[in-house]
Structure 1
Amino acid sequence: MPHPANPEILPPKPASGSAPLRDRAAFGRNLFADENLDLLAHILDDWFRIPGTSIRFGIDGIIGLIPGLGDILAGLASCIIVVAAWFRGVPYVALVRMVVNLAIDVLIGAIPILGDAFDIAWKANRRNYALMTRHLRQPRRHTWKDYVFLGAIVLTLAAIFAIPALVVLWILARLVQHL
């Protein structure tokens, strides 16, 4: 005698288009608690103090002493705060600012000695944590300054890719002219 089928009951799908963002934010709050992110920023930027001074530095500055690999590893650890901000629903303009803070930290940090001193002063993780908490505490509409900043970043990235291509084309044109 066949057994009766037991149907699987699924929860209803969300009706509004904002539910995935709400789910993402709830998941981010649970996975990336403020205390953990604050501790991560503290370890990366402020863990140690130079005796007799108020100068603080973290593991980011120490790992950065390893040529090449150190700044990449520190940058990857710093990405945790940016990913947490995305999960928690921080606006994209603020996320771009956070990524720019990290890019500045990694690129300038790659310069031997000068970059390590810059890491101690710049504190990208502290900046990004403060930016995230400010946007979560006081959500606001973005101003024209935010969009000007975003536009400047896009134009800068376009120039970074376009200028070398234009130089190569110019060199090729000069070579063809002299043939």
Structure 2
Amino acid sequence: MKKTVSDKSRQRLERLAWYLDSSIKVPGFNARFGVDALIGLIPGIGDTLGALVSGVVISEAARLGAPKSLLVKMAFNVGLDAVVGAVPVLGDLFDFAWKANQRNVQLLNAYLDKPRETLVASRLFAWGLGAVLLGFVLLVGALGFLLVRALLAVVAGA
């Protein structure tokens, strides 16, 4: 049986995700981490480099026709990995647990196997993420307004 390009792409992405997230076994424990966690140990640029390498999975998903809402969900996984990974010590521990690349390959495989169900779930996620971000922007704006108002009251009273 001849393998399709999609099957070859899936295998290549699964192998890449495994190398990045789970290729190294911790001796004496039932735990694994990957090259992404090691790259993340490089101060200043490690998590950025890891995110760039993780972008390969997202770009391949786009090439295979994944919808924008799924790509947003995948980018969120990588972004969360990069942002939390940048926090000293806590971020390094997070890198061992949060396997963004393997999550993204699972999302892509789910989409390729059952596009309709995955599309609905990823759209709900994208809308929810948008609502959370909008709420955050409104909260920061309200806090900024209150801070300026308080500063003006202090200046006017002085």
Q: How does the TM-score come out when normalised to structure 1? A: 0.74
Counterpart of 2:143 in 1: which secondary structure? helix
Is 1:101 the counterpart of 2:71? The answer is: no
How far did residue 149 of structure 1 move?
A: 2.3
Give me the CA root mean square deviation. 2.0
Higher helix fraction: Structure 1 or Structure 2?
Answer: 2
Matched, 1:113 2:89: yes
Residues 81-102 of structure 1: CA deviation (Å, up to 9, x unaligned): 0111111111222222111111
Deviation at 1:146, TM superposition (A): 4.2
What is the Cα deviation at residue 57 of structure 1?
0.7
How far has the Cα of 1:123 moved from its partner? 0.5
Return the alpha-carbon distance in structure 2 between the equivalents of residues 60 and 83 of structure 1: 17
What's the CA shift for 1:114? 1.6
Contact 2:73 2:122 in 1 (8 A): no
Is 2:47 the partner of 1:57?
no
Unaligned ranges ≥5, structure 1: 1-28
Show structure 2 runs of 5+ residues with no match. Answer: none
Partner of 1:85: 61
Read off the aligned partner of 2:15 and give its amino acid letter: L
1:133 lines up with 2:137 in the alignment: no
In the alignment, which residue of structure 2 is the partner of 1:48? 24
Computing the radius of gyration from Cα coordinates, the structure with the larger value is: 1
Percent identity for Structure 1 against Structure 2: 35
Amino acid corresponding to residue 99 of structure 1 in structure 2: A
Number of positions where the alignment pairs a residue of Structure 1 with one of Structure 2: 149
SS in 2 for 1:140: helix
Partner of 2:137: 161
Distance (whole Å) between structure 2 residues aligned to residue 131 and residue 166 of structure 1: 36
Paired with 1:67 and 1:155, the residues of 2 have a C-alpha distance of 33
Q: Mean Cα displacement is larger for which, 89-98 or 56-65? A: 89-98
After superposition, give the CA deviation of every residue in 1:17-42 in whole Å (9 maximum; x if it has no partner): xxxxxxxxxxxx58x82232222111
SS at match of 2:29: coil
Q: What's the secondary structure of 2:28's corresponding residue?
A: coil
Distance between the aligned counterparts of 1:148 and 1:33, measured in 2? Answer: 27
